Chains A and B, each alone.
Chain A
């Protein structure tokens, strides 16, 4: 069980990590990045699956079902959207074979 101060440490260090990682991203990638971080919190799928696995009775099962379906949508939608955006930036290096930048 992660509790008390260690939990706070993890929270704080993760927060700094997020701040640092993003602060070096050029404006050109902001939208793909927002989409990418949107995908990353799709990890909620793992939690939704755990909760649904332990659900008892119709009500809990129904809410669990909604949780898993939405979380899966978050993860898959976020991934596809991000990849589609980033694919547009991919063809460029080929074009610049002669003139390296």
Chain B
């Protein structure tokens, strides 16, 4: 091995190590920022070192190098500008998009290798060919699936499309992908047509798998695609014999899988359920029971008085808060209440919003102290001592049906016990059922009052009300 080759390998190895340390540092709010900066530096160094790799001709007259620089500049600037401009509420779909790009890149790497083989290139052995094909399938599915996830969350694609016999078609597609994957992976002289068909099928499969999944399940899906991309990168790392790709890809693959499990568990929806059935389609609606009581409306002024003369207020934000961009107003209101000596806490359900931690990010953006932002387990015992639970834009995560009715589709899902508070005020845009289409019994409870209106405006009204006191 040449000296340069050794140096490059050493850089790759260190890069992988720094990535792991960086991820570790991201486990604490204090060191998290340092962690990502370290990882960023490692990425830059690894990329620069790659210009010295034997496959790369470091000659400015070389067309490959010229185009490579153009590609890096184009890809980087598009991503940089979009990531800088996007609003915090739209972050989930951006993560989906960048993740899809990574998956696409992994698939494209495999495509180049396979095209080389079909053009009579030398095979590096059966194992390598199989790994290339595996990485290609996973990467392609992650790419097209993430694109669909992006389109759905961005609102470009509104409906959840379910074809008749959707699962049967998917299984058929999956088998077809396997067959062509097998043909490509095991043949000595790879057919170019097979490679094309293989990739087209894999891309369609990614779209078909993601299409029927509803927006509520998207966080789980994005996390799953994130893990898959990691795995695809690891497989292509084996193909290219690149330690940084193998280690970083596998670490992301396993951590992403764990994160996906945590999320699915919080929603009480096995991953298989998320992927292969959509909410309400499994006869859950048939078990709908009559709701007792009626919804009581409250005016902002009365709600303001109720909170301002209490001792403790727990705010339960949900996706509706994100949509209404009400987090800054909410923080303002929290400050006003705190100035009156009231204990203000924020209760975050693990799957509130579109991703785990989505609410935390938005509240942090507004400047809410993260010591006051509490998890489900931490906050639930506190609800009985709260004078007011203010639910803003959350629905299913506070539905007591999840505790009481075994027939409900969300039965067993851990929920925030907002109904245990002395009074519950629910800020809601209209009277309709929530995202899942399940009636929320909390809204009909005796101690619940509804404050109708846009989240931001309703909170602004509350602020006015509190100030007048």
Write the residues of chain A forming the contact surface with B, with a CB cutoff of 8 angstroms.
1-3, 7, 10-11, 14-19, 21-57, 59-61, 63-93, 95-96, 101
Contact = CB atoms under 8 A, between A and B. Distances in A.
Interface size class on chain B is: 35 or more
Given A38-B226, A92-B29, A50 B246 contact: no
A54 to B, nearest CB: 4
Given A15-B253, A18-B254, A87 B33 contact: yes
A38 B242 contact: no
A52 B64 contact: yes
A101 to B, nearest CB: 6
A67 B229 CA distance: 14
Contact of B222 (A10, A17, A18, A34): A34
B94 interface: yes
Interface string B212-241: 000000000011001001100110111011
Given A48-B109, A53-B57, A76-B80, A88 B365 contact: yes
Contact of B259 (A14, A34, A47, A95): A34
B98 A43 contact: no
Given A22-B258, A64-B112, A79-B40, A44 B241 contact: no
Among A26, A69, A81, A86, the most chain B Cβ lie within 10 Å of the Cβ of A69
A31 B92 CA distance: 8
B318 interface: no
B189 interface: no
Interface string B338-369: 00000000001010000111101100110101
B33 A50 contact: no
B252 A18 contact: yes
Nearest to A72: B75
Given A40-B248, A78-B98, A81-B83, A53 B64 contact: yes
Interface string B114-156: 0110010000000100000000000000000000000000000
Interface string B13-43: 0010001101110111110110111011001
B112 A36 contact: no
Given A83-B36, A85-B361, A89-B364, A28 B373 contact: yes
A15 B20 CA distance: 11
Contact of B356 (A31, A50, A53): A31
B112 A60 contact: yes
Interface in B67-89: 67-68, 70-72, 74-76, 78-80, 82-84, 86, 88
B80 A80 contact: yes
